């Protein structure tokens, strides 16, 4: 089965993470061998996208790492939310002060 380049580009992410079906994997591999444009695309994709293994999603043993990552992200979301609220509060207080002056 030969695939066209657009289909290969759609499948590259699944192929890269080892989630593609065996048939898709074989077809993508064969296409990458003969198509330079898709090979370059895949090279670029590999550089830009972290693999599942690097993110440690694949093994439950590294769940702690993921949990820590999520905690840090949650903390940053909290910081962002707090700064938004305090900025809004400042704007509100300034508005009140301006209204009192009149």
* Per-residue tokens: 60: 């439950």
CA distance 36 to 18: 21
Q: Which stretch binds Zn ion (CB under 5 A): 4-12, 57-65, 78-86, 93-101?
A: 4-12
d(CA 14, CA 25): 9
Can residue 30 be called a binding residue for Zn ion (CB under 5 A)?
A: no
Instruction: For the segment 36-95, give every residue that binds Zn ion (CB under 5 A).
Output: 38
Looking at the Cβ atoms of 10 and 53, the one nearer to Zn ion is: 10
DSSP letter, residue 17: T
Query: Which of residues 14 and 35 has its CB atom nearest to Zn ion in the complex?
Result: 35
Judge whether 20 and 10 are in contact, CB under 8 Å.
Answer: no
Q: Is residue 11 a contact point for Zn ion (CB under 5 A)?
A: no
Q: Residues with Cβ < 8 Å from 45, sequence gap 6 or more?
A: 12, 13, 16
When binding is defined by CB under 5 A, the residue of 35, 49, 52, 55 that contacts Zn ion is 35
5 belongs to the binding site for Zn ion (CB under 5 A): yes
Contact residues toward Zn ion (CB under 5 A) are: 5, 35, 38
């Amino acid at each position: 089965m030969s695939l066209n380049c657009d289909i290969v580009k759609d499948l590259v992410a699944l192929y890269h993470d080892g989630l593609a079906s065996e048939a898709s994997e074989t077809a993508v591999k064969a296409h990458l061998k003969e198509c330079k444009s898709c090979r370059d695309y895949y090279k670029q994709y590999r550089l830009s996208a972290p693999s599942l293994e690097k993110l440690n999603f694949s093994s439950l043993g590294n769940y702690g790492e993921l949990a820590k990552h999520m905690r840090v992200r949650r903390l940053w979301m909290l910081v962002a939310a707090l700064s938004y609220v305090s900025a809004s509060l400042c704007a509100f207080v300034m508005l009140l002060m301006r209204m009192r002056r009149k």
